[in-house]
Amino acid sequence: MTDTPPPHETGADVADTPAKKAKRKRTRLQLAAFIAGATFAGLLALIVVALVGGRMYLVSDAGRELITSFVAGKKISRYGRINVEGLQGDLFNDFRLKRVTVTDEKGVWLEATDVRVDWSYWPLLARRFHATEISAGQIRLLRRPELEPPSEPGGPQAISIDIDRFSANVELLEGFSKEYGRWTLSGDAAIPRKGVKSANVNAYSLNRKGDYLRLAAAFGDKPEDLRVNLRANEAQGGPIAGSLGYSPDQPFSAVAVVNGEVIDVAVQTGQFRPLLVKGTYGDTGAKVSGYADFSGSDLLEPFVERIGRTARFGFAMTPDAKRDGYQGVAWRLYADNIESSARGLIRTTDNTSPEGISLELNTPSLSRLVGSPVAGPAAYTGVFKGDAQIWTLQGSASLLNADIASYRATRISGPVNIAANKGRIDVTTDVRAVGGSAAGIIGGLLGSAPRIQMEGARMADGAMLLKKIDARGQGLTLVGSGGRGLNGGLN
């Protein structure tokens, strides 16, 4: 019997050759690349359509109304709320505003009309606002603003600001400057998020020919970055003097020069000189002295009421004769209701005071100084260590004839220590009262000799944290503590 021969193998059963495998692999890669490219192109097209469509919408009437609604009513620090009207043009390039107002509790105090902004939006991608020109047909200052109470400090500057040129015609009304005035204003500004910030302002009177104000200023994180060149003159007085609270009917001049070597500041109205500062400074040290007389301006009346009519001060910094890299520093401040002095050494390599600067502060009336009933004579002595960002102040305070929250005591004293670390401020105190009055509810609880120990902090975001309190008095025992929870909230 003969075996049946096996059938011939078909093409499907024959193993692929290396050439066929490579060809099929290339085909798959080409297909994947095609799909990825098509997907990317589709996404890119969608992004382009979205950007173009979004831009077209924002430059439409409906888009402009949407942007206006976002801006309307926004707060401008303590100065009120802004409102805009009549938005026209391309928001991404060159647009105009028919009217811009700033309103406080009494109504509109600033009005700008025919405002034009010529800018480019691409620098915003690098957190920079750049305007080629910002102008206003007219800015009217109707009256002095009603400032709101100080709020929590803002965060760091969000974007850099560069304005190549700004210009406006400014109208000062009697409610703002006591004397009517019309000025033309121009300048530029460079305000980076980090580093030295600078601005130039030139203003010339239109109705009092020859009167002017010119300012070139720069400042940064370091004191040595400060540069000021200010010149202002009103031959027969005018709105500049009036806006500062002085008489608008007396000749007015102001000069301020800070150039890295010399400090020269002088303000004069008529025969009265309210401010004079003279000094020199540099790598080898500094000597600065001056005085201020607050009595000539109605804007400075709070200073007269709280610290006195005049104040004199002196500041000196000289190299230490015994150690290289150290400079001795001292200052004195004299006024009717406050005296302050300090003395110590600063290490010049990092501008810190590792060994401490002794500080003394005295006032004959703390109630007058803070503007509300608190205490009579008060004093604080302490030692400052650190730099501008991270520092400690350890010392003790003493208040005589205290009257705090309806509680009266002959003396309240004890250590008060303060520590700052990049925006956060911690306060620790342990105070005792002597000769306390038992009158009233609070007096009955605290008695004649209460003791209060407390640890608190003001966080960098402005939140207040009471970490520990231990208050003990005649009829009171209060113990508590607080901190941050796992979610970062205060408890």
DSSP per-residue string spanning 160-229: EEEEEEEEEEEEEEHHHHSS-EEEEEEEEEEE-SSS-EEEEEEEEESSSTT-EEEEEEEE-SSGGG-EEE
Q: Which residue has the higher pLDDT, 315 or 56?
A: 315
Q: In this structure, are residues 433 and 411 in contact, taking their beta carbons and an 8 Å threshold?
A: yes
Helix (H, G, I), strand (E, B) or coil at 21: helix
Q: Is the pLDDT of residue 41 over 80?
A: no
Task: For residues 316-332, give the mean pLDDT.
Answer: 89
Q: Is the pLDDT of residue 420 over 50?
A: yes
Nearest alpha-carbon partner for 363 in 429, 307, 301, 434: 307
Q: Which residue has the higher pLDDT, 308 or 159?
A: 308
pLDDT, one tens digit per residue, over 144-161 is 998 887 766 556 678 899
Token pair, residue 304, equals 């007269």
Q: Is the pLDDT of residue 53 over 50?
A: no
Task: For residues 347-351, give the mean pLDDT.
Answer: 85
State the Cα–Cα distance between residues 226 and 216, nearest whole angstrom: 11
Q: Which residue has the higher pLDDT, 144 or 388?
A: 144
Residue-level pLDDT at 236 = 93
Helix (H, G, I), strand (E, B) or coil at 73: coil
Q: Is the pLDDT of residue 52 over 60?
A: no
Hey, what amino acid is at 459?
M
Q: Is the pLDDT of residue 183 over 90?
A: yes
Q: Which residue has the higher pLDDT, 9 or 413?
A: 413
Residue-level pLDDT at 46 = 44
Least confident of 144-153, 225-234, 282-291: 144-153
End-to-end Cα, the chain, rounded Å: 99
> How does residue 473 score in pLDDT terms, banded at 50, 70 and 90?
confident
Residue-level pLDDT at 65 = 60
Token pair, residue 401, equals 């004839």
Q: What percent of the chain has pLDDT over 70?
A: 82
Residue-level pLDDT at 198 = 94
Token pair, residue 128, equals 């920079």
Alpha helices in 300-381 (DSSP H): 301-306, 366-370
Backbone angles phi, psi at 49, to 5 degrees: -60, -40
Task: For residues 218-223, give the mean pLDDT.
Answer: 85
Residue-level pLDDT at 35 = 53
Q: In this structure, are residues 59 and 90 in contact, taking their beta carbons and an 8 Å threshold?
A: yes
- State the Cα angle at 289 between 286 and 291, rounded to 5°: 160
Residue-level pLDDT at 242 = 94
pTM score: 0.77
Q: In this structure, are residues 320 and 327 in contact, taking their beta carbons and an 8 Å threshold?
A: yes
Q: Tell me the HSE value of 94 on the side-chain side, using a 13 A CA sphere.
A: 4
Residue-level pLDDT at 126 = 86
Q: Is the pLDDT of residue 288 over 60?
A: yes
Least confident of 65-79, 161-175, 432-446, 457-471: 65-79
> How does residue 255 score in pLDDT terms, banded at 50, 70 and 90?
very high
Burial of residue 183 (number of CB atoms within 10 Å: 0-12, 13-18, 19+): buried
Helix (H, G, I), strand (E, B) or coil at 405: coil
Q: Which residue has the higher pLDDT, 339 or 422?
A: 339
Burial of residue 177 (number of CB atoms within 10 Å: 0-12, 13-18, 19+): buried
> How does residue 33 score in pLDDT terms, banded at 50, 70 and 90?
low
Token pair, residue 127, equals 């957190």
Residue-level pLDDT at 73 = 72
Average model confidence (pLDDT) across the chain: 84
Q: Is the pLDDT of residue 22 over 70?
A: no
> How does residue 204 score in pLDDT terms, banded at 50, 70 and 90?
very high
Task: For residues 457-476, give the mean pLDDT.
Answer: 86
Task: For residues 468-490, give the mean pLDDT.
Answer: 76
Q: Which residue has the higher pLDDT, 486 or 164?
A: 164
Q: Is the pLDDT of residue 246 over 50?
A: yes
Q: Is the pLDDT of residue 278 over 80?
A: yes
Q: Which residue's structure tokens are 């929250």?
A: 405
Least confident of 4-18, 345-359, 446-460: 4-18
Q: What percent of the chain has pLDDT over 90?
A: 53
Burial of residue 224 (number of CB atoms within 10 Å: 0-12, 13-18, 19+): exposed
Least confident of 54-63, 258-267, 426-435, 469-478: 54-63
Residue-level pLDDT at 58 = 47
Q: What DSSP letter does each residue of 131-168 carry, written as one string? A: EEEEEEEEEEEEE---PPPP-PPP-S--SEEEEEEEEE
Backbone angles phi, psi at 3, to 5 degrees: -65, 140
Taking the CA atoms of residue 396, residue 402, residue 407 and residue 411 in that order, the dihedral angle to the nearest 10 degrees is 60
Q: Which residue has the higher pLDDT, 37 or 378?
A: 378
